[in-house]
């Protein structure tokens, strides 16, 4: 046991001794993915970047994959492809429905499904071979043709802006202008429990809280977009650096055969991050909608079911 | 002054940030439209029918489960009523068998009694007939013996006896006979 622990420690030290200088060398050479997407060509005034190309390609793949999985219309006895889509849709529905509330669920779910599948597959697209590595050298600089869409702030910002407008639309549709005003600025104190003076004074407090809430709502665009961008961009950089690191190891005689395996664990990590981030974005949007539209109807129904022993 | 400096510094930094990340409204528009289009197409041609089929299947499953529950209840009720019917039929059959046995026993007893009565009547009649015939035979024998006696006595006494003597002798002979 002691010998095994010592061997592990020595191996760790040797690995660190080899890795740290190599990673440092990678950093000194400035290798890594640029924060801005690379413009590949332009259509009129619209620049088409590598992330836009990737976004279009993955979008096309998603639509075709779903279309071919369903083989036309969905069937009551599902084929394999439909069963897979159904399991994802059903799983997301079970999670999202209690969050957004039954009232809003019907109209919100298509949008949430779109976000989940779009972000998930765009993230997973970043793990495909050739993404970030196929391109041309122009002016001594490498210009890739493909870059994960969510590793471009334009894409994540666009998703967040659309999410913001979707949030506003769904909240207005479910709660109405009055309901939204009450949710943000309304005096939520119980009049029967406090004096009229305090209740009146609380109007100003809630007005101030509402203003802060408005800033918070606007900041959601930044938080949603930067969270997704940061994770995807970080992952892309990690994979890129690990490839750079493995190429440096090729010069070392003993470990050169193992150098190709170095990025492999990080692919699994990025796979996990892709799923988690798509889920986080979708869940956060549903929470934002649920904060305004969900007033505990689901919980009330569960309580009612428990009370009457009814099970639908 | 300080605030304006901070704001300006912030603006410069913010502008630099936009450049650094390559933020461009054209790209924002392209990506937004791309997402909206994909989400719409996915829902219109994929998820809508999947969601509809899932709801339809859930309804069918719920109906199936409800039907199975109803059938289970009906089966239990049917089995209960069948058991009750079987029990009542068993009791009825037992009653019928018992009454049949009782009836058979009664008929047997009655037959036995009738036979006994018939045999008793037959014996009585036979005894009566025997007594009658005996009496008749005795009467006949008496008359015949009396006649014989008279004839014998007549032949013995010839014409010396009167009708009164004859009758006395006949009476004496009758008394002597068993």
Residue A2 lies in a domain: no
B-chain residues near A154 (CB < 8 A):
21-24, 27-28, 31
Is the predicted ipTM greater than 0.90, yes or no?
Answer: no
Say yes or no to pLDDT of B81 above 80: yes
Residue A242 lies in a domain: yes
Task: Select from A72, A76, A92 the least CA-distant residue to B46.
Answer: A72
Domains in chain A: how many in total? Answer: 1
Residue A18 lies in a domain: no
Give A183→chain B minimum CA distance, Å: 28
pLDDT at B63: 93
Of A74, A76, A157, the CB nearest to B23: A157
Q: What's the 3-state SS for B94-148? A: HHHHHHHHHHHHHHHHHHHHHHHHHHHHHHHHHHHHHHHHHHHHHHHHHHHHHHH
Question: Per-residue pLDDT averaged across B21-47, rounded?
Answer: 89
Residue A165 lies in a domain: yes
> A118: which 2 tokens?
């779009």
Q: Which domain holds residue A241?
A: 31-308
B-chain residues near A153 (CB < 8 A):
21-23
Residue A24 lies in a domain: no
Closest-approach residue (CA) in chain A for B59: A312
Mean pLDDT of chain B: 84
Residue A295 lies in a domain: yes
pLDDT at A275: 93
Residue A3 lies in a domain: no
Q: How far apart are CA A104 and CA A102, in angstroms?
A: 6
Say yes or no to pLDDT of B131 above 80: yes
> B96: which 2 tokens?
């019928």
Residue A19 lies in a domain: no
pLDDT at A226: 93
pLDDT at B66: 93
Q: How far apart are CA A66 and CA A84, in angstroms?
A: 10
Question: Per-residue pLDDT averaged across B137-157, rounded?
Answer: 79
Q: Mutating which of B16, B20, B25, B26 best tests the A interface, going by the most A Cβ atoms within 10 A?
A: B26
Of B21, B26, B43, the CB nearest to A47: B26
Which residue blocks in A101-152 are alpha helix, DSSP H?
102-125
Positions of chain A with pLDDT under 70: 1-31, 296-312
A-chain residues near B48 (CB < 8 A):
110
Strand positions, DSSP E, A169-308: none
């Amino acid at each position: 046991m002691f010998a095994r622990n010592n061997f592990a420690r020595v191996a760790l030290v040797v690995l660190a001794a080899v890795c740290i200088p190599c990673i440092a060398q990678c950093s000194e050479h400035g290798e890594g993915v640029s924060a801005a997407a690379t413009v590949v060509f332009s259509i009129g005034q619209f620049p088409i970047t590598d992330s836009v190309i990737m976004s279009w390609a993955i979008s096309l793949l998603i639509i075709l994959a779903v279309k071919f999985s369903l083989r036309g219309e969905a069937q009551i006895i599902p084929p394999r492809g439909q069963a897979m889509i159904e399991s994802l849709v059903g799983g997301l529905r079970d999670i999202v429905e209690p969050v957004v509330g039954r009232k809003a669920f019907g109209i919100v779910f298509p949008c949430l499904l779109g976000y989940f599948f779009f972000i998930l597959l765009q993230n997973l697209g970043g793990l495909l071979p050739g993404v970030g590595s196929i391109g041309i050298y122009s002016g001594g600089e490498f210009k890739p043709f493909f870059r994960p869409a969510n590793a471009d702030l334009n894409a994540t910002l666009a998703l967040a802006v659309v999410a913001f407008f979707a949030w506003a639309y769904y909240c207005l549709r479910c709660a109405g202008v009055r309901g939204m005003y009450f949710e943000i600025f309304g005096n939520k104190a119980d009049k029967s429990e406090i004096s009229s003076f305090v209740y009146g004074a609380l109007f100003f407090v809630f007005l101030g809280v509402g203003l802060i809430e408005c800033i918070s709502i606007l900041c959601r665009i930044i938080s949603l977009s930067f969270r997704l961008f940061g994770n995807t961009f970080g992952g892309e950089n990690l994979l890129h650096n690990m490839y750079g690191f493995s190429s440096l190891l090729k010069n070392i005689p003993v470990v050169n055969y193992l150098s190709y395996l170095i990025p492999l664990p990080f692919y699994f990590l990025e796979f996990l991050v892709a799923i988690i981030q798509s889920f986080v974005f979708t869940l956060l949007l549903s929470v934002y909608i649920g904060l305004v539209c969900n007033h505990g109807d689901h919980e009330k129904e569960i309580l009612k079911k428990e009370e009457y022993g009814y099970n639908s | 002054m300080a605030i304006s400096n901070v704001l300006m510094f912030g603006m410069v930094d913010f502008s630099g940030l936009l450049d650094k990340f390559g933020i461009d409204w054209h790209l924002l528009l392209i990506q937004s439209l791309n997402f909206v289009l994909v989400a719409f197409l996915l829902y219109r041609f994929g998820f809508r029918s999947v969601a509809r089929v899932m709801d339809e299947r859930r309804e069918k499953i719920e109906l199936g489960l409800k039907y199975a529950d109803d059938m289970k209840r009906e089966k239990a009720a049917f089995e209960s009523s069948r058991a009750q019917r079987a029990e009542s039929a068993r009791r009825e059959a037992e009653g019928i068998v018992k009454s049949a046995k009782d009836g058979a026993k009664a008929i047997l007893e009655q037959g036995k009694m009738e036979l006994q009565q018939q045999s008793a009547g037959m014996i009585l009649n036979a005894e009566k007939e025997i007594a009658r015939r005996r009496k008749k035979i005795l009467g006949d024998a008496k008359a015949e013996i009396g006649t014989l006696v008279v004839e014998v006595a007549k032949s013995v006494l010839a014409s010396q006896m009167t009708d009164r003597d004859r009758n006395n002798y006949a009476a004496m002979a009758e008394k002597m006979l068993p």
